[in-house]
Amino acid sequence: MVDSLVYSLLRALVDLLVTGRADQAKLQAEVLVLRRQVQVLERQIKRVQWKPTDRMLLAALRERIPRSG
């Protein structure tokens, strides 16, 4: 029950952030930098250990990002 409420609130927050007015070029550059940082960090560890809160955040954001491939 609490997880469901937290997830709903997280989705609402993401919706607010996505609809906010931001400079798209700046956001895209930031995304590229963050993706590169993730790639570098993943090379330094053997296996990523996701926590339930990590999974919840990624699930909430999943529908907001374009699919690769």
Q: CA 60 to CA 69: how far, in whole Å?
A: 21
Q: What percent of the chain has pLDDT over 90?
A: 12
Structure tokens at 24: 């798209």
Is residue 18 a contact partner of residue 68, using CB atoms and an 8 Å limit? Answer: no
The reported pLDDT for the residue numbered 53 is 93
pLDDT in tens, 43-65: 898 888 889 999 999 888 888 87
Calculate the CA dihedral of residues 62, 63, 68, 69 and round it to 10 degrees.
120
The reported pLDDT for the residue numbered 20 is 60
- This model's pTM is above 0.85: no
Strand, coil or helix: what is 56? helix
Q: What percent of the chain has pLDDT over 70?
A: 88
pLDDT band at 69 (very low <50, low <70, confident <90, very high): low
